[in-house]
Structure 1
């Protein structure tokens, strides 16, 4: 029972932290990660919010992943995108409405803090071993279909998102490069630390 509670807490708290990190990278105004830039670009061209597009794009990816892997859609992933989507809107629309940062140094600091928080949150939520974010599912689907290594699949997925973000006018810039190349190593660093801590809590 305690194990399930800790896993559930890790899942919800981790996703909340991820959404906060994503929000900071968007607010920094230096360019967001490819998928986040896509959602922001779509939000600017439609009546829907960034969080709404996180959910819409996630649903599309769930269907695409199902087609690529020729398996049933992983509907439980809807929980993940709903949580992230609503939390991103909470941070952007309620906590930081109309926030505008013009000082470059402050933009860089907020961007870097956002990336670290994203990696930290991802490391926490993955400890629960519940549903994957559809973006991660897309990466694994590409790996299986194309027969490539996971890093190659991740690169392909990011390029697809990047091209789509450019097409819809999403915020692409320095931040996009930083997020793309730093998030993986940061998660790799954070993950074992949280794994040891949470496993100890479960044992206790």
Structure 2
């Protein structure tokens, strides 16, 4: 029970920090990460919040992940929901300053990337499932046998173009984020001495199979008890 509580605290700390990191990068006013360009563009066009756009896109990607055979964990589903929720909450609180010059914007963008990297290490390290977007990258990597880096670049360029067409903010910060976030996450894993390749994510199917096995074992145990009782009664 303590282990589960620890993992959930770690998971949600990662979600809160990621939401904060996105708001910091938004308020840098020099462009946002490729995925957030898409979320922002959808927000502008549809009238929904950016967090709601993030949840909507996340849901579509989770369905794609499952269709492509990629394991979906509880952390994947919670990631899809709560990063968008915390993004909207933190944004509405107006606690993050807004940059009023290029230098401050660059500093805020770097801070936002560092916060997002720490958040990623926290929630991925919990081993409860990768984020929907990470899962899509891995699923396409397995399907097409192309390098992860090339697949990630193609995905991010696609969502960047779509977001830009919808009116999302593209700028210097988009370039800094696109190239800097991956390296920042790698550094975070090294500092925490976590090998990302060795993280074994528990997927929802594992838990369903586990529950099915317990139910089956209990049914067999009950059947055995009934058989023994009947056998004893017949011998009397």
TM-score class, shorter:
0.7 to 0.9
After TM superposition, the score normalised by the length of structure 2 is 0.76
Match of 1:92? 91
SS at match of 2:7: helix
Alpha-carbon distance, 1:65 to partner: 2.2
Match of 1:188 among 183, 186, 189: 186
**Structure 2 residue 49 is the aligned partner of structure 1 residue 49:** yes
Alpha-carbon distance, 1:175 to partner: 0.6
Please list the CA deviations of residues 45-71 of structure 1 after superposition, one character each: whole Å capped at 9, or x if unmatched: 22200000010000111122233x1x3
Match of 1:27? 27
Structure having the higher Rg: 2
How do 1:6-85 and structure 2 match up within 5 A? 6-67=6-67, 69=68, 71=69, 74=72, 76=74, 77-85=76-84
Total equivalences in the alignment: 193
Q: More deviation in 184-193 or 171-180?
A: 184-193
Q: Which runs of 5 or more structure 2 residues have no equivalent in the other structure?
A: 195-236
Q: Do the aligned residues in 1 keep the contact of 2:70 with 2:135 (CA within 8 Å)?
A: no
Match of 1:147 among 145, 148, 163: 145
After TM superposition, the score normalised by the length of structure 1 is 0.87
Provide the alpha-carbon RMSD of the alignment.
1.9
Q: Do the aligned residues in 2 keep the contact of 1:19 with 1:88 (CA within 8 Å)?
A: yes
Q: Do the aligned residues in 2 keep the contact of 1:139 with 1:154 (CA within 8 Å)?
A: yes
Alpha-carbon distance, 1:73 to partner: 7.9
Q: Which runs of 5 or more structure 1 residues have no equivalent in the other structure?
A: 197-204
CA distance in 2, matches of 1:113, 1:96: 15
